[in-house]
Structure 1
């Protein structure tokens, strides 16, 4: 479950409520593609903008429509109390695993973050993926903290941000982290533009934004790296440089992917929860051109 391609779909909105029909369409698209797992209610799934009831419903729909594909449900929230409630909802829905980032309003210390994972890990009956996402949480994990958390029960994977772009430096990064965590815990890469480098450097999983919308494209990169064809994985990723450039231009992947879903007819426009907005007219035109040139699937 914590290896290969983990595809993270949008949670499309329409008129301020979750567009369940569009969400089901995205989940079934991923199941049909044969991704290795589905990560619902991650950052791409806009979990922070949804109520507990909406998140519970999304967890139920993801599990119901994923077929035999394992479903990982995001349970991140500001308070430990709410995280535990969301974990209960995810487990009741039948989730195969949960994903937890240390969200905060006040800056968190390492002791507070460890305490969060310690409490949650001891209250789970399914595996936990540690979500290291400093861009969103503004918390920087040390490798030593990852090693400490990795000793807790039920921890199954660590989702790290992008590795260094230089392959040798990426390998050093992964090798150092690997020395601090048990061998049964996988390391997964996020940050799609660096995913091929990360997998080639030893990451067992790719927690993927584009995989949630274009699963076949992401699977091709994943399978090449898994087969040891590192150059092919890099070539396939580099082919997507125009898309990666748009991610950088627009402050990350979310607005680009949401607009791509609208352009592909997979979500109504606008599909993001306010105050978030998709790309403007010029941005949409540029994205449409890139999608056409790349023939993404």
Structure 2
């Protein structure tokens, strides 16, 4: 399950709750496109801003409308007890796997992070993906810690941050980590702009934001990489550079992805939980111009 394209859709919300009809539409679109899995309640899915009940509802809706495509559900929370509750709800709803980042207000130690994963794995009957996202958690995994955690039962994938743009350096980084983990644990790349390089460097999966909006474009990149056509995969990624530039300029992919979802009519405005806001004014116009130039569908 933790191979190929895992597409991460937005969770559109208002202050009254989840916009369920719109969320279902996003999930159905991904299933119809043929993505390999759907990752709900990731960073793009605004998991940190949702209540336990809302998160449970998101997983239930996604499983019911994914037409059999595996659902990977984010379960991260500040307290271990809440992570365990999220894990239980996700499993009850029929999620095929879970995604866990070491979320914390206080900076965590390596031992605290290991104990988190060890505790959660004891309660799981589905596989787990380790979510390594220092940009939001401010915790940096060492390869050695990844190696320890990867030995735990239920751990089947590691979602790593963007790799170096130099393919040789990226290949060495992936190979170094692979030596420390079991053969049945996959390595997935995140950071859309680095995806082609990561895949060409040996990553097994792409955990993708753009895949949650434009799955056809993301599938073209990963299928080329899977076929061993590194040149085409890189060229297709480079064609999306105007989009990657928006990510860099506006501090990440969430606001850009949510703005795209609004301007293309996939969701209604506003779609982010307050105090978060989508791009407005000249910034929004810039997104529209990039989309017009790229002509994605």
- Residue 14 of structure 1 and its aligned partner are, at CA, apart by 2.8
Q: Does 1:43 align with 2:40?
A: no
Structure 1 counterpart of 2:100: 100
User: Is the partner of 2:284 in helix, strand or coil?
Assistant: helix
Distance (Å, rounded) in 1 between the aligned partners of 2:69 and 2:6: 10
Is the 2:15–2:274 Cα contact (8 Å) retained in structure 1?
no
In 2, the alpha carbon distance for the partners of 1:55 and 1:199 equals 30
**What is the aligned partner in structure 2 of residue 78 from structure 1?**
78
Separation in 2 of the partners of 1:87 and 1:209? Answer: 22
Distance 1:131 1:28 in 2: 25
In structure 1, the residue matched to 2:157 is: 157
1:170-197 Cα shifts (integer Å, max 9, x gaps): 0000000000001110000000000000
SS in 1 for 2:53: helix
Counterpart mapping for 1:259-278 below 5 A: 259-278=259-278
Residue 295 of structure 1, CA deviation: 1.1
Is contact 1:38-1:69 (8 Å) kept? yes
- 1:1-297 counterparts in 2 under 5 A? 1-297=1-297
Once residues 16 and 109 of structure 1 are traced to their aligned partners in structure 2, the CA distance between those partners, rounded to angstroms, is: 37
Measure, in 1, the Cα distance between the counterparts of 2:122 and 2:179: 24
Determine the C-alpha separation between the residues in 2 that align with 1:118 and 1:13. Answer: 33
Separation (CA, whole Å) in 2 of partners of 1:177 and 1:16: 43
Residue 15 of structure 1: how far off its partner (Å): 4.2
**Residues 180-229 of structure 1: CA distance to partner in whole angstroms, max 9, x if unpaired?**
00111000000000000000000000000000011001000010000000
Deviation of 1:16 (Å): 3.9
Deviation of 1:270 (Å): 1.2
Judge conservation of contact 2:27–2:65 (CA < 8 Å) in 1: yes
Name the SS of the counterpart of 1:180 in structure 2: coil
Give the alignment's TM-score, normalised by structure 1. 0.99
Gaps of 5+ in 1: none
Equivalent residue of 1:206, what SS?
Answer: strand
Query: What SS does the corresponding residue of 1:39 show, helix, strand or coil?
Result: strand
User: Please, what TM-score do these two structures have when normalized by structure 2?
Assistant: 0.99
What is the rounded CA distance, in whole Å, between the counterparts of 2:57 and 2:286 in structure 1?
35
Q: Which runs of 5+ in 2 are unaligned?
A: none
Q: Alpha-carbon deviations, 1:22-48, whole Å to 9, x = none?
A: 100000000000000000000000000
Find the aligned partners of 1:283 and 1:220 in 2 and give their Cα distance.
Answer: 28
- Please list the CA deviations of residues 59-100 of structure 1 after superposition, one character each: whole Å capped at 9, or x if unmatched: 000000001200000000000000000000000000000000
